[in-house]
Structure 1
Amino acid sequence: MTVMPKLEDLSDPDFDAFAMERMSTGRCPDPYPRIHELMRQGSVIEGIYRNEFTDVTDVQTAGRPTMMVLGYDAVMHVLTHPEIFTNREAFLPSLGVSFGESVSVMDAPDHTRYRKIFQKAFLPQVVTKWGETVVDPVVNSLMEAFIHTGKADLIEQFTHDYPFQVIYAQVELEPEQGPVFHKLAIAQMLSSIGAPQGMEATEKLGVFFAELLRQRRANPGPDLISHLATIEVDGEMLPDIILISFLRQLMNAGGDTTFRGTSALLTGLLTHTDQLEAVQADRSLVSQAIDEALRWEGPVTCTHRYAKVETEIDGVRIPQGTAIDLVLASANRDPRKFEDPDRFNIFRERKHRHVAFASGPHLCIGQHLAKVEMTRALNALLDNLPGLRLDPDRPAPQMIGHLLRSPEHLWVRFDA
């Protein structure tokens, strides 16, 4: 029997990576009034998105000439023209440092080549099976801890944990290693604010995944790492350096964003009881409720690109070498595309699709898995927590963050 490698904790085991991440991503209760003000100024504005909300500098990208791109049409133009707006120069100083040779840091032809293999690994029919075999047991196990109590904090006791535990199950990580794994995954991103723990976490996860990958290549099983290590397209498999980078990013891309998306979905429904009752009565509405939550409060408000050549949008010149802060939240709340855009409304006419998963060649590879997880989590809560409602004795949930959005608490009551 192969012994799983042991994760090495940070040299300072008491370092609170989660508190540092909250400082980095901001505690702004509502960035949307400012986002609307910026949109009214135009589609392209000189400046840095995070500087509108915090004085915590991103040391990895400081000093680069930067423009914000806002509004649905302008954002979609950037996302769908990779020959002009590239990923590599945009993310090499940041995600490239934290994760390595991730597909998020690639442009064509490398991105096209490796994405094709990853897409085969995350086909809808594949992730649907994971819903039954992996997601359901995790969700049921977490609910068991509070299902008989009649009350819970659905953030602390459910949404903050379940996407990460799904990943632990997919890679067959021993439960006792989960807390260190989660800490290191979050700490990786702290290189952006100059915290030395960021690079330390990146290196330690790299050592762990390299050994785990070696073991799974030698003795493949039904787990996700074995699946990724052995899948091929046109006779080509994923090189170790690409796969290790992907696994480093998996916790953030597959865990953190799903936690935030599910939290927004539950917040939207529980603060709009008529819509909650409608979904409870008709589960065919779950899909459009998820899409509305992702539009209304997408987990990530801003992403990045780089102007490879000089270009323009709406008559505004964008010089070659300009870093682009692509404000996804402005596209999802553009009043020219979505009527009353600040309102959560699962019944709105769906003329335009949201960009919470981006668009174009870098459309999120894991979007199908995220939707499967959110669907099964919501259905499980509605099935097992009758009379689910906000706790009247506790503060109402409040979405916070200028970059990564979620509430800190979601206190509820239900009929035990």
Structure 2
Amino acid sequence: MIVLPKLEDLSDPTFDPFEMEKLSTGDCPDPYPRIHELMEQGSVVEGSYRDQFTEIRDVQTGDLAQVMVLGYDAVMHVLTHPEIFTNREAFLPSLGVSFGESISVMDAPDHTRYRRIFQKAFLPQVVAKWGETIVDPVVNALIDKFIDTGKADLVHQFTHHYPFQVIYAQIEMEPEQGPVFHKLAIAQLLSLIGAPQGQEATQKLGTFFGELLRIRRENPGTDLVSDLARAEVDGDYLPDEVLISFLRQLINAGGDTTFRGTSALLTALLTHPDQLDAVRADRSLISQAIDEALRWEVPPTSTFRYVIQDTEIDGVKIPKGTFINLVLASANRDPRKFSNPDKFDIFRERKHRHVAFASGPHLCIGQHLAKMEMTRALNQLFDRLPNLRLDPDMPPPQLIGHILRSPEHIWVKFDT
């Protein structure tokens, strides 16, 4: 019998990184009026996106010369010109500190080389198999816990758990280790605001995944870590440091964004009952409902790039050495591309694709998994919770945050 390593909790086990994380994500109820004001100033606006909404300093990038890039065309220009706007210098002070040598911190040729290997584990046909074997059992087990009550808080009882439990199942982690894993994964990002628990969490997850990788190399199985350890393209394999960094980032890049995307999707549908009824009656509409939710509430609202040569956008000169705040939310709500962009409308005409998964060489590697998880979660909620609706006796869901947005609660009722 293979004995897997045990995660070590934070030295202060009472520390709550989820509460501290809110200092980073913010409590802004609606950043879009300010985003539209910024867009009216042009495609390039001096300053930090974060500083528009909070006085809590970003200790890793706060002293760099920064500009915001806004609007669909300008954002796409930056995303698709990596020879000018690079990832490495942009993310070394942040994701590099939290995760290590992640592919998010790489530029070509290293990024191209290692991404090809990672992609083998996330091909659509591979992801589709996880739907029945991993995602459905996780979703159904969570629903089983509240299905007899006729009511639920879908955030605390469902969306805040299922994407993470999918990851635990993918790496075959014992369920009892899940809470510590989730805590450490969230705590990693607290280095952004200078919390010492950030580096402690990074170190402890590195130790755990290093030992797990050693075990899986010696005793390969059917889990994701074994698959990634064996994955190769033209004789190239993933170095341990790169693979460990990817696993450190997995719960944030895969779990947290899917939790927030699913929460936004449910918020949008439940507060638009006509569209909820349409999707419930015709499941072929689920795909476009997901796409519209990701356009309407992109997780995250902004990302970063670094300028390595003098350039310009829409006639505005941007010197080498400038730190770019790339406001993805401004692209997805650009009125020049999406009519009435602040409205959630699954039936809108789709002339332009959203940038929730970015674009260019750093297009999200887990996009197929995220959409599959959201699709299966919504189908199971509809199938198992008849007449799912908002609880009229409780406050309606309210999305909050300026970077990573989600509701605190989604209180619902359903027939039993």
Q: State whether TM-score is above 0.5.
A: yes
Counterparts of 1:77 and 1:175, CA distance in 2: 43
Cα distance in 2, alignment partners of residues 38 and 371 from structure 1: 31
Of all paired residues, the percent bearing the same amino acid is: 79
Corresponding residue of 1:211:
211
Query: What's the CA shift for 1:62?
Result: 1.6
What do residues 329-357 of structure 1 show as CA deviations (whole Å, max 9, x unaligned)? 00000000000000000000000000000
Structural RMSD (CA): 0.4
**1:75 matched to which residue of 2?**
75
What letter is aligned with 1:298? V
Per the alignment, residue 304 of structure 1 pairs with 304
Q: How does 1:318-357 map to 2 (within 5 A)?
A: 318-357=318-357
Tell me the residue number matched to 1:267.
267
Matches within 5 A, 1:353-392: 353-392=353-392
Q: Distance in 2 between matches of 1:338 and 1:302?
A: 19
1:40 corresponding residue in structure 2: 40
Partner of 2:45: helix, strand, or coil? strand
Letter in 1 for 2:262: T
- In 2, Cα distance between the equivalents of 1:36 and 1:397? 23
Q: Give 1:350's aligned amino acid.
A: R
Distance 2:120 2:351 in 1: 29
Q: CA deviation at 1:83?
A: 0.2
Q: Which amino acid aligns with 1:147?
A: I
Counterpart-to-counterpart distance in 1, 2:292 and 2:373: 16
Counterparts of 2:229 and 2:269 in 1: how far apart (Å)? 39
SS of alignment partner, residue 36 of structure 1:
helix
Which SS does the other structure have where 1:344 is aligned? coil
Cα distance per residue 1:39-92 (max 9 Å; x no partner): 000000110000000001110112100000000000000000000000000000
Report what 1:280 is aligned to.
Answer: 280
Q: Does 1:147 align with 2:147?
A: yes
| Structure 1 counterpart of 2:170 | 170
Which runs of structure 2 are paired with 1:11-26 in the superposition (5 Å)?
11-26=11-26
The 3-state SS of whatever aligns with 2:152 is strand
Which residue of 2 is the match for residue 240 of structure 1?
240
| DSSP 3-state at the match of 2:36 | helix
Which amino acid is the alignment partner of residue 242 of structure 1? V
Displacement of 1:262 in angstroms is 0.3
Residue 19 of structure 1, CA deviation: 0.1
Residues 288-316 of structure 1: per-residue CA shift (max 9 Å, x gap): 00000000001100000000101000010
Paired with 1:158 and 1:73, the residues of 2 have a C-alpha distance of: 36
Counterparts of 1:405 and 1:351, CA distance in 2: 25
Q: Which runs of 4+ in 1 moved over 2 A?
A: none
Counterpart amino acid of 1:266?
L
Q: What is the CA–CA distance in structure 2 between the aligned matches of 1:59 and 1:123, rounded to whole Å?
A: 37
Q: 2:178 and 2:119 mapped to 1: Cα distance?
A: 27
Q: Give the TM-score, by structure 1 length.
A: 1.00
CA distance in structure 2 between the partners assigned to 1:408 and 1:63 by the alignment: 32
Q: Secondary structure at the match of 2:14?
A: coil
- Which position in structure 2 is the counterpart of 1:123? 123
In the other structure, the counterpart of 2:402 is 402
2:219, 2:283 → 1: CA distance? 41
2:225 corresponds to 1:225? yes
Equivalent position amino acid for 1:105 in 2: V
Q: Which amino acid aligns with 2:183?
A: K
Partner of 2:185: 185
SS state at 1:303 partner: strand
Once the two structures are superposed, residues 91-120 of structure 1 have per-residue CA deviations (whole angstroms, 9 ceiling, x without a partner) of: 000000000000000000000000000111
Name the residue aligned to 1:258. Answer: 258
Letter in 1 for 2:173: L
CA-CA distance at 1:235 after TM superposition: 1.1
Q: Which amino acid aligns with 1:251?
A: I
Please give the alpha-carbon distance, in whole angstroms, between the structure 2 residues aligned to 1:55 and 1:14: 26
User: What is the rounded CA distance, in whole Å, between the counterparts of 1:143 and 1:243 in structure 2?
Assistant: 33
Task: Output the CA distance in 1 between the equivalents of 2:114 and 2:226.
Answer: 17
Tell me the TM-score normalised to structure 2 length.
1.00
Give 5+ residue unaligned stretches, structure 2. none
Alpha-carbon distance in 2 for matches of 1:22, 1:408:
11
How much has 1:181 moved relative to structure 2? 0.3
Q: Which residue of 2 aligns with 1:94?
A: 94
Question: 1:121 offset after TM fit, Å?
Answer: 1.0
In the alignment, the residues of structure 1 paired with residue 325 and residue 125 of structure 2 have an alpha-carbon distance, to the nearest angstrom, of 34
Residue 412 (structure 2) aligns with:
412
Count of residue pairs brought into register by the alignment: 416
Q: Secondary structure at the match of 2:243?
A: helix
Question: Does the residue aligned with 2:55 lie in a helix, a strand or coil?
Answer: coil
Letter in 2 for 1:143: I
- Opposite residue 386 of structure 1, the aligned amino acid is P
CA–CA separation in structure 1 for the residues paired with 2:282 and 2:2: 47
Distance 1:161 1:346 in 2: 26
Q: For residue 164 of structure 1, give the secondary structure of its aligned residue in structure 2.
A: helix
Amino acid in the other structure paired with 2:360: G
Q: Distance in 1 between matches of 2:280 and 2:329?
A: 28
Query: How far off its partner does 1:398 sit?
Result: 0.3
State the Cα deviation string for residues 362-393 of structure 1 (Å, max 9, x = none).
Answer: 00000000000000000000011000000000
